[in-house]
Amino acid sequence: GIHAILSSQTLSGAYSLPRTTLGQMAVRIALQCDASDAQIIFSDDNPAAARLKHPGQAIYNDAGGRIEGNQPMQIGWLTKEQQVGWLAELPSGYRNQDPTTNRLGHCVVYDGNRAATWDAANADLAIAHASQNINAEALWCVTGESVAIHPAVAFPLTRQAGRNMLVVAGEDRLVAPVLSSIAASLVRGTGAQLQLVILQGAKPTDAWALKLPTLWRDLSCDLQVFDSRNTEACLKNVHELLLQRMAAADAALDDSPSSAIDPIDAADPTAELSKPILFNIWQLGRLRELRRDEDFGMGGFGESEMKPDKRLEEILRDGPSYGVFTLIWGENYSTVARWLSRTALRELEIRLLMQMSGNDSTHLIESIAASRLGEQVMLVYDEATGQEQRFRPFNTQWIDAIVSWGAGPPIADNSSTSPA
C-alpha cells in the first residue's frame, strides 16, 4: 500500500537514479527531453520522448519503459498561480485519520530545500511517544521536523552527568528556531517551573538571536539576560546557584537517617531549588572571558577568585545532576576547540550540528555524517546512546507560534498509559 512518485527535470549526470530504482517504476511519464534522458527514463531502444516537438506533448508508458507501452498524451496547462495554490493545498487535502495506518495523523510533505513548518500536534505527539515508550521521567526537547516519516525529532534531558548541549552552526536563522523549540519544550514540560538564563554574545548580524530574549518574554517562566560585558557576573550567578543546590543536597544527606538516599532526589529540598535551569551561552567566540586559560594546571599566583572559564567547567561537570543544564552555541568547531578544553567538551553529550567539513564532523561526533547534510538540514547526536538523527529546523516565521506553544498548558503525564 506504499506508492512512490518521483519527479525530476533530468535524470542524466549528477541527477541519475540507480538502475535498480528505475526498475521498480512501472509507470513512467516523459515530456519533451533530449535523447540521453529519453533512453534513461524509458529504455535504450525507446527514444520516443526525444521526438516530441510541441509543448504539452508527453508519453505515458505503463510497461516499464518498453516501446510497446508508449501512449502519446497531452498534459493540461496550469498558470503559476494555480500551481502554487494546488501545492499549498496538498498537506491539508488528504488526511488519513485511521491510527492503525497513519500514526502521525497528518499528511507528510517533505520540502528538502526549505525550513520546516511548525506543527504543535506533531511536537506533542513526539514528546508523548518518547515519554510512553522510552523514558517518562526525562524532559524531552523538540528540535525540528524529522526527515523520515516519523514524529518530530526530540532528545531527553535527565539529571545525569554530561546532559549538556552543544550547537555548532553559523546561520542564526536556523539556530534561532532550534533554541526556541528547546526552551519552549522545557517550559511546557516543567509546567513553567523552568529558569532561563541567557548569556548573549550574538554578533550584530545575528538578527534573530538578538530578537530571541524579547520573544521569550512570553514564556511563562523566570528569564534573566546578561550581555557580553557581564560575562563574569553571569557565570558567578549560575555557579552560586549550583553551589547552593550542592550544599542543600549534602545537608539533606547528612540529616537523613538512611544512607541510601538518592543524591539527585535530595538535591532540591525547597521548591525554588527544584526548578530546572537552562543556561544559554550564545556565540561562544565573542565571549573572550570564557576562553580557556592555558596555565597547564599550574594556576595563577595570588588568585583569590575563580575565573569564568573554570566556573563554566564546574557548571558543565556538576550542573546536570542538580538540574542545571547548559546549552552552548558556537559558530564552528575551530572556535569551540579554542574556547573549551577536552574535559569540558566531554560534558556536552548532546550535539546539534549544521553542515561542516568532514574533519570537523569527525572531531565532534567521530563520523563524517555532518559533512553530508543539506543546506536546510541539521543533525542531533547523543553521545550517551550513540544515536544520530537528521532533522529540518523550523522556519523563523514560526518562532512566535513555538513560544505560544511553550507557554501553553503543561503536557499531560502519560507515563501510566500503555504504549500504542
pLDDT in tens, 90-100: 766 556 666 66
Asked, for residue 319, whether it belongs to a domain, the answer is yes
What region, left, alpha or beta, does residue 228 occupy, with left being phi > 0 and alpha being psi -120 to 50 degrees?
A: alpha
For 17-40, write each residue's pLDDT tens digit. Answer: 888 888 889 999 999 999 889 989
For 170-226, write each residue's pLDDT tens digit. Answer: 989 999 999 999 999 999 999 878 999 999 999 999 999 999 999 999 998 999 999
Residues 34 and 153 occupy one common structural domain: no
**What is the structure's pLDDT at 245?**
93
pTM attached to this predicted model: 0.80
**What is the structure's pLDDT at 299?**
55
Asked, for residue 343, whether it belongs to a domain, the answer is yes
Residues 56 and 176 occupy one common structural domain: no
C-alpha cell at 390: 537528521
Asked, for residue 87, whether it belongs to a domain, the answer is no
Residues 225 and 343 occupy one common structural domain: yes
How far apart are the C-alpha atoms of 228 and 236, rounded to whole Å?
14
How far apart are the C-alpha atoms of 178 and 399, rounded to whole Å?
9
Asked, for residue 107, whether it belongs to a domain, the answer is no
Asked, for residue 105, whether it belongs to a domain, the answer is no
Q: In whole numbers, what is the pLDDT of the chain averaged over residues? A: 87
Q: What is the mean pLDDT of residues 400-408?
A: 94
Show Cβ contacts of residue 88 under 8 Å, excluding neighbours closer than 6 positions: none
Label residue 234 by pLDDT band (50, 70, 90).
very high
300 and 310 in contact (C-beta within 8 Å)?
A: no
Handedness of CA 23, 25, 27, 30 (dihedral sign): negative
Strands 324-330 and 350-353, bridge-based pairing: unpaired
Among 140, 147, 110, which Cα is nearest to 125's? 140
180 and 215 in contact (C-beta within 8 Å)?
A: yes
Asked, for residue 98, whether it belongs to a domain, the answer is no
pLDDT at 152 over 90: yes
pLDDT at 2 over 90: no
Residues 314 and 239 occupy one common structural domain: yes
Asked, for residue 416, whether it belongs to a domain, the answer is no
Residues 124 and 69 occupy one common structural domain: no
200 and 228 in contact (C-beta within 8 Å)?
A: yes
Residues 262 and 349 occupy one common structural domain: yes
Number of domains in the chain: 2
For 252-284, write each residue's pLDDT tens digit. Answer: 877 665 544 444 444 444 556 778 999 999 999
Q: What is the mean pLDDT of residues 300-315?
A: 81
284 and 316 in contact (C-beta within 8 Å)?
A: no
**What is the structure's pLDDT at 256?**
62
Residues 19 and 161 occupy one common structural domain: no
Residues 20 and 162 occupy one common structural domain: no
Place of cell 507501452: 69
**What is the structure's pLDDT at 19?**
83
pLDDT at 6 over 90: no
Residues 182 and 58 occupy one common structural domain: no
Strands 277-281 and 324-330, bridge-based pairing: parallel
Label residue 298 by pLDDT band (50, 70, 90).
low
Label residue 134 by pLDDT band (50, 70, 90).
very high
Asked, for residue 207, whether it belongs to a domain, the answer is yes
Residues 202 and 310 occupy one common structural domain: yes
**What is the structure's pLDDT at 263?**
47
pLDDT at 41 over 60: yes
Of 98-102, 133-137, 251-255, where does mean pLDDT reach its minimum?
A: 98-102
299 burial (CB, 10 Å; 0-12 / 13-18 / 19+) is exposed
Q: Between helices 120-133 and 172-190, what is the axis angle to 10°?
A: 60
How far apart are the C-alpha atoms of 225 and 131, rounded to whole Å?
31
Q: What is the CATH number of the domain that holds 326?
A: 3.40.50.300
Residues 267 and 142 occupy one common structural domain: yes
Range of the domain at 55: 13-74
**What is the structure's pLDDT at 52?**
93
Number of H helices, E strands in the chain: 14, 13
Quote the radius of gyration of the chain (alpha carbons, Å): 26
Label residue 7 by pLDDT band (50, 70, 90).
confident
Task: Please name the helix (run of DSSP H) or strand (run of DSSP E) that holds residue 105, with its range, or none.
Answer: none
Residues 209 and 315 occupy one common structural domain: yes
How far apart are the C-alpha atoms of 39 and 197, rounded to whole Å?
61
What is the DSSP code (8-state) at residue 90? H
Place of cell 488526511: 95
For 318-376, write each residue's pLDDT tens digit. Answer: 999 999 999 999 999 999 999 999 999 999 999 999 999 999 999 999 999 999 998 89
